[in-house]
Amino acid sequence: MSPLHAKLLRDLWRIKGQALAIIVVIGIGVALQVMMSGVIASLTQTRDAYYQRHQFAEVFAGLSRAPEHVASRLRAIDGVAVAQTRLRGLALIDITTRDLPINALILSLPGGAARPLNEIMLTSGRMPEAGRLDEILLLDSFAKAHGLGPGDNLRVTLNGARRQFEIVGTALSPEFIYFAAPGELVPHDARFGVIWISRPALAAALDLEGAFNEVLITLVRGARSEAVLDRVDRILDPYGAPGSYDRDEHPSNRFLNEEFKGLTASARNVPPVFMLVAAFLLYIVTSRMLQSEREEIGLMKAFGYTDAEVGGHYLQMVVLIALAGALFGSVLGVAMGRLIIPLYAGFYKLPFLLFRLDLAAFLSGLIISVGVASLGGVVVLRRIFRLTPAEAMRPPAPPDYSRAGHVAQALLERFDQPTRMVFRRIFRQPWRMLGAVAGIAAGMALSLSMLIIYDGFDEALTRTFEVIDRSDASVSFTAPEPYRVIYDLRRLPGVMRVEPVRNVPVILRKGRREFSGAITGLSTDAELFRALDADGAPIPLPARGIVLSSTLARILDAAPGDVLNVDIREGRQPEVQIVVAAISESLLGSPAFMEIDALNRALDEPGRVSGAYLSVSDGDEAAVHAALRDMPRVVGVSLRREARAAFEVIMDQGAGSARFIMGLMAFAITFGIIYNAARVARDERARDLASLRVLGFHRGETAFVLLGELAVVTLAALPIGLLVGRFMSHMIAAGFSTDLYQIPVVFAPRAQGMAIAIVVGAALASGWLVKRDIDRTDIITSLKTRE
Amino acid sequence: MEPTSDRGDVPAFRASGVTKIYGEGRSAVHALRGVDLEIRNGEIVVLLGASGSGKSTLLNILGGLDRATDGDVWFRDAHLTAMNDRALTRYRRDHVGFVFQFYNLMPSLTARENVELVTEIADHPMSAAEALELVGLGARVDHFPAQLSGGEQQRVAIARAVARQPDVLFCDEPTGALDSRTGRAVLRVLQDVNAKLGTTVLIITHAAATAAMAHRVIHFADGAIRKVEVNASPAHAEEIIW
Ligand SMILES: Nc1ncnc2c1ncn2[C@@H]1O[C@H](COP(=O)(O)OP(=O)(O)OP(=O)(O)O)[C@@H](O)[C@H]1O
Ligand SMILES: [Mg+2]
């Protein structure tokens, strides 16, 4: 082994403590990137494979009723590969554990078709036997949420008639991965059921013998769905079809895409912040590391080693550390990915898992780490190379205290010698100290912004379910009802307040941008559900015009005063123009609000409501629920408590769940940075400390010199960390916000206090570890080696 | 003994008007105040002078480790003071061996590896083991500097300098930490190298007795040469009285 290689390895061994800390910090940066991109790649690929293997349809159309022979006309459309018909109905499920009925979809089983579209996958039990009219399959996630399985009975109200079915199996389906019950914003496994039953049984129940009311279509490769949609609509129009749609508009797929988009956004935007902090530390540390090799570098140059040879040798050292970090990060990222991806796959109800890692994430992590380490190295080496070898071999000159130093000097004289040593060193090497301060501040900022994000999720829940929505329940009707239904509700015993609401599905357009959602009509004196501005103050709904949520305003690029084209997708489906009156703050979904009478005027349907918000006095819930389930026009009742729980599940198990692991990683990075700072100080000062011991200072006093420095650096980092953290949290909050929900940035004192506690705790732990290390080292050995 | 010279009249070093000022303004230190000097090839020259008189500074400039503030220095035909960094590196690599006042060993390398660090980039080096044998450290080749005494570290530094068999050897107090017997042995090594290879040797010392082995003795004071003595019959290292 050449002496240079031996030197390299031994030097690395000597600084193993600080090197390890850097490896961990970079490793975590890279691991997060590798893991998150692996999650995205694996989930997307698994979803696509699932869709393909189970022949998820590409075009969907519902209708009131058409004779079966119409299907052959659909099959003849240019671009259609397969078209299959089925029956679909709405049902209510009675569950003993809930005093309100649950909405369900009931579908006919394909029965005999060679390769059915939207093919289900049995997860337990068996298929219903042909000819048995009372055997059903139940959606797996719904069955699990209610503890139901094969052998259990289910009471269902179908087409006004109560029936009892026997569950013979549970199943998964690519069309019901993830979707919300009608009238609900957020999916909730327990709140929406899917039942499959043999076609003859359903045909009998719905009076659809020899007919169909839904068609599923796949396209030949390369066919344009727009053209097919158009032809399908023309054929089905006479049969009461509201319009066909493709996968982009399919509720489950659309929701899943939103979630994946959210995950992708946090995978794209958050890990780079971590990587930035890791790279920043790497830069500081590598430059400091080489700075302390300055005398050796001078010596090698004195022997006639060229700049390139010397530079190559020292760069190897920092690059090896960076490489080790990147490799460790990849291994860690893959390991964590393997742990976490199945959890996501379970949450998104994917029946199998294709595990894939994203090479690009690994490579970019590698390139960034090695690049930054080299950059830090080259910058310092260039500075050292500018010195003559004689200059480099001398320790750097102490600073000139003659000018500005007087005050500092006078101040110093008031302290004892070890305290003076602490401060002198800080004045002497201000850049090194500033580097350490900046590193710790960056680490702290990262932890703080994750804590702020945690608070942001809580705040999103609080604002949505305690400030904006203050109802106990919301009721939706089968069809728009005359206003007097509100009075009916008000008369129910236990109901304290009822407010009308009119929800209308619409497509909002401005220029080339469009959004398909709904307009919520509220009364001007609404209390239970309100549109609020950014400060939480209610926005008075104007007699004309629409109030857009900030998310929607962003999607449409609309501001107050702009005119939107609104395509109403209900009733006579008019197209109207509405001016934007104000922007509201909303953290959940992308709602739009209008004054209910103004909305009804635009629809030309005065005095209609589609639902109501209720507040119920404590203790009367059961009675009110019982009354509601007997009201024929009520199609669904959703409880704020349940909606909140559903939202929490989405945040904690869906895309938002990444925040937990990221938080842990942020804390680990913070600790790594602080421990590194402590180790660097110790390695640089081993000799000084030994000299102090020789001069008769106690262990405690000696350690004080070192730990005092760490304390000063840490304290200086705290305010900077708080400041940078505020800034950083905006970047991370944007990364965690999806189209479904927004994460607000709130600077709670608690988060700031926690961040300070984390940093101080890490400093104490590092100090203790380093002190233990000092106590163990042999004075003489330290004295003989260089500083 | 006669100085061995194979290059006729061209001296090994020629310096004229060399000054060196550290710092500037009120805190400026004039370490060298116009040094004129000629050193012949194959000479052993001893530099004597009070602490702080500028000896190490001069050695650093002659050795291409530092730049003069003013004046010219030639090594043979090469104008050192006009060279760029790359050329100076080349010069140090091809011609110069150093023994530093503070030894300057690499702490993470063993004695042998410290020597190998320079022989690796030399043209005709002796082996590291051979060089350490010369300074009486044959048995300690695998020890780290921290495991060696001060004097032993100094001898490793000398082994390191002679091992590359340079044209010029600069020794800044090579025997400062050694007892008389070892000190003499080390001076022997320098004398042998000079005799066998014709290496020009410059020695800084506080031990005036060492001057006995020099061909010439330069007395230094206050950044300038005060006196040059020529020694017609240099003593053998072994005969030096400590
Ligand atoms: N980097 C520097 N900055 C300022 N002054 C310096 C520097 N290096 C040396 N000096 C000063 O230059 C003068 C000459 O120093 P030099 O090291 O050449 O002395 P020396 O003759 O080798 O002394 P010694 O025998 O003690 O080693 C001294 O006064 C010293 O304080
Ligand atoms: Mg000196």
CA atoms within 13 A on the CB side of A527: 6
Ligand 1 mutation pick, B27, B29, B35, max ligand atoms within 8 A of CB: B29
Nearest to A695 by CA among A398, A421, A396, A413: A421
pLDDT band at A97 (very low <50, low <70, confident <90, very high): confident
Q: Does pLDDT of B102 surpass 90?
A: no
The Cα–Cα gap between A55 and A116 comes to 7
- Interchain contact, B93 vs A393, CB within 8 Å: no
ipTM: 0.90
- Cα A6 to middle of ligand 2, angstroms: 31
- Cα B227 to middle of ligand 1, angstroms: 20
Q: Is B92 within 8 Å of chain A by CB?
A: yes
pLDDT of residue B220: 93
The verdict on residue B71 lying in a domain is no
Q: Which two tokens mark B114?
A: 């410290």
The per-residue pLDDT for range A454-472, each reduced to its tens digit, is 999 999 888 889 888 999 9
Give whole-number Cα distances, B155 to A17, A427, B60, B146, B212, in Å.
33, 38, 20, 14, 21
Q: Does pLDDT of B3 surpass 50?
A: no
Please name every residue paired with A138 in a beta bridge, in sequence order, or none if there are none.
Answer: A170, A195
Q: Which two tokens mark A117?
A: 């579209």
Nearest-Cα residue of chain B relative to residue A389: B65
The Cα–Cα gap between A765 and B232 comes to 70
Taking contacts as CB-CB distances below 8 angstroms, the residues of chain B near A393 are 65, 100, 104
Evaluate whether the domain defined by A495-616 bears CATH number 2.40.40.
yes
Nearest-Cα residue of chain A relative to residue B63: A302
Q: Which residues of A touch B (CB under 8 A)?
A: 2-4, 6-7, 10-11, 14, 295-296, 299-307, 309, 385, 388-391, 393, 400, 402, 781, 784-786
Please name every residue paired with B220 in a beta bridge, in sequence order, or none if there are none.
Answer: B49, B225
pLDDT of residue A451: 94
The verdict on residue B203 lying in a domain is yes
Q: Which two tokens mark A472?
A: 């106990």
Least confident of B211-215, B225-229, B231-235: B231-235
SS (H, E, C) B194-207: HHHHCCEEEEECCC
- The DSSP 8-state label assigned to residue B147 in this structure reads G
pLDDT band at A113 (very low <50, low <70, confident <90, very high): low
Q: To probe the interface with A, which of B80, B88, B104 has the most A CB atoms within 10 Å?
A: B104
Least confident of A357-361, A523-527, A598-602, A668-672: A357-361
Least confident of A70-74, A255-259, B16-20: A255-259
Ligand 1 mutation pick, B47, B55, B66, max ligand atoms within 8 A of CB: B55
Measured between CB atoms, which of A6, A11, A301 is closest to B89? A301
The DSSP bridge pattern shows strands B29-39 and A513-522 to be unpaired
Residue of the CA atom closest to atom 7 of ligand 1: B22
Domain span at B231: 41-64+95-239
Q: Does pLDDT of B5 surpass 50?
A: no
pLDDT of residue A164: 92
**C-alpha B122: how far from chain center:** 17
- Interchain contact, B114 vs A3, CB within 8 Å: yes
Q: Does pLDDT of A722 surpass 80?
A: yes
Q: Which residue has the tokens 């009822």?
A: A498
Q: Where are the domains of chain A?
A: 58-255, 429-470+641-787, 495-616
Measured between CB atoms, which of A301, A309, A786 is closest to B107? A786
Which atom, in ligand 1's list, is nearest to the CA of B49? Answer: 21
Taking contacts as CB-CB distances below 8 angstroms, the residues of chain A near B63 are 302
Q: Are B144 and B77 in contact (CB under 8 A)?
A: no
Measured between CB atoms, which of B107, B110, B117 is closest to A303? B117
Please name every residue paired with A165 in a beta bridge, in sequence order, or none if there are none.
Answer: A154
The Cα–Cα gap between B4 and B124 comes to 20
Domain of B147: which CATH number? Answer: 3.40.50.300
The per-residue pLDDT for range A490-521, each reduced to its tens digit, is 999 999 999 999 999 899 999 999 888 899 99
Q: Considering every ligand atom shown, identify the ligand nearest to the alpha carbon of residue B206 and give its number.
A: 1
The Cα–Cα gap between A668 and A764 comes to 15
- Interchain contact, B89 vs A306, CB within 8 Å: yes
The verdict on residue B31 lying in a domain is no
Nearest-Cα residue of chain A relative to residue B93: A304
The verdict on residue B158 lying in a domain is yes
Q: Which two tokens mark B87?
A: 């050329």
pLDDT of residue B2: 39
The total number of residues shown for chain B amounts to 242
The Cα–Cα gap between A391 and B57 comes to 11
Write the single-letter amino acid at A440: I
- Cα A240 to middle of ligand 1, angstroms: 102
* Ligand 1 environment, Cβ below 6 A: A 394; B 22-23, 29, 31, 49, 51-57, 101
Q: To probe the interface with B, which of A16, A303, A782, A783 has the most B CB atoms within 10 Å?
A: A303
Residue of the CA atom closest to atom 4 of ligand 1: B22
Structural domain count of chain B:
1
Q: Where are the alpha helices (DSSP H) in A292-358?
A: 294-302, 307-347
Q: Does pLDDT of B13 surpass 90?
A: yes
pLDDT of residue A277: 87
Calculate mean pLDDT across residues A354-371: 85
pLDDT, chain B, mean: 89
pLDDT band at B4 (very low <50, low <70, confident <90, very high): very low
Calculate mean pLDDT across residues A40-63: 93
H/E stretch holding A155 reads: strand A153-158
Q: Which two tokens mark A489?
A: 């509700």
Q: How would you label B44-70 residue by residue, b for 16+ Cβ within 10 Å and e otherwise?
A: bbbbbbeeebbbbbbbbbbbbbbbbee
Q: Are A251 and A409 in contact (CB under 8 A)?
A: no
- Interchain contact, A3 vs B60, CB within 8 Å: no
pLDDT of residue B1: 38
Calculate mean pLDDT across residues A325-348: 89
Residue of the CA atom closest to atom 16 of ligand 1: B54
Write the single-letter amino acid at A783: L
pLDDT of residue A406: 63
CA angle centred on A581, ends A576 and A585, rounded to 5°: 115
pLDDT of residue A407: 63
The verdict on residue B72 lying in a domain is no
Nearest-Cα residue of chain A relative to residue B86: A306
Q: Are A767 and A291 in contact (CB under 8 A)?
A: no
Measured between CB atoms, which of B66, B109, B145 is closest to A6? B109
Calculate mean pLDDT across residues B87-94: 92
Q: Does pLDDT of A706 surpass 90?
A: no
The DSSP bridge pattern shows strands A473-482 and A245-246 to be unpaired
Please name every residue paired with B203 in a beta bridge, in sequence order, or none if there are none.
Answer: B46, B171
The per-residue pLDDT for range A667-677, each reduced to its tens digit, is 999 999 999 98
SS (H, E, C) A518-580: EEEEECCCCCCECCECCCCCECCCCCCCEEEEHHHHHHHCCCCCCEEEEEECCCCCCEEEEEE
Measured between CB atoms, which of A3, A301, A781 is closest to B120? A3
What percentage of chain A has pLDDT greater than the value 90? 47
Q: What sign results for the dihedral spanned by CA atoms A233, A236, A239, A243?
A: negative
The verdict on residue B55 lying in a domain is yes
The verdict on residue B69 lying in a domain is no
Nearest-Cα residue of chain A relative to residue B58: A390
Calculate mean pLDDT across residues B3-21: 78
Q: Are A288 and A437 in contact (CB under 8 A)?
A: no
Q: Are B49 and B57 in contact (CB under 8 A)?
A: no
pLDDT of residue A409: 67
CA distance A674 to chain B (A): 26
Write the single-letter amino acid at B128: A
The Cα–Cα gap between A57 and B203 comes to 92
- Interchain contact, A390 vs B89, CB within 8 Å: no
Q: What is the pTM of this model?
A: 0.82
Nearest to A303 by CA among B39, B100, B154, B11: B100
The per-residue pLDDT for range A405-451, each reduced to its tens digit, is 566 667 667 777 777 777 777 777 788 888 899 999 999 999 999 99
The per-residue pLDDT for range B143-199, each reduced to its tens digit, is 999 889 888 998 999 999 999 999 999 999 988 888 888 888 889 889 989 998 899
The per-residue pLDDT for range A234-274, each reduced to its tens digit, is 999 899 888 899 998 898 998 888 888 888 888 888 888 88
The per-residue pLDDT for range B111-134, each reduced to its tens digit, is 999 999 999 988 889 999 999 998
- Interchain contact, B146 vs A785, CB within 8 Å: yes
The Cα–Cα gap between A527 and A30 comes to 49
SS3 content of chain A, % helix, strand, coil (to 5): 55, 20, 25
Measured between CB atoms, which of B65, B114, B145 is closest to A389? B65
CA atoms within 13 A on the CB side of A324: 16
Residue of the CA atom closest to atom 12 of ligand 1: B31
Nearest-Cα residue of chain B relative to residue A400: B27
Q: Are A717 and A755 in contact (CB under 8 A)?
A: no
Report the first-to-last Cα separation within chain B, whole angstroms: 21
Least confident of A298-307, A541-550, A568-577: A568-577
Please name every residue paired with B33 in a beta bridge, in sequence order, or none if there are none.
Answer: B19
The per-residue pLDDT for range A196-245, each reduced to its tens digit, is 999 999 999 999 999 999 999 999 998 888 899 999 999 998 998 888 99
- Interchain contact, B113 vs A391, CB within 8 Å: no
- Interchain contact, A400 vs B27, CB within 8 Å: yes
R_g (Cα) of chain B, nearest Å: 17
Taking contacts as CB-CB distances below 8 angstroms, the residues of chain B near A2 are 116, 120
Residue of the CA atom closest to atom 5 of ligand 1: B22
Taking contacts as CB-CB distances below 8 angstroms, the residues of chain B near A781 are 146
Q: How would you label A356-381 residue by residue, b for 16+ Cβ within 10 Å and e otherwise?
A: bbbeebbebbbebbbebbbbbbbebb
H/E stretch holding A230 reads: helix A225-236
Q: A363 CB contacts (<8 Å, ≥6 apart)?
A: none
Nearest-Cα residue of chain A relative to residue B161: A303
Q: Which two tokens mark A598?
A: 């103004």
Q: Are A625 and A636 in contact (CB under 8 A)?
A: no
Q: Which two tokens mark B202?
A: 């410059």
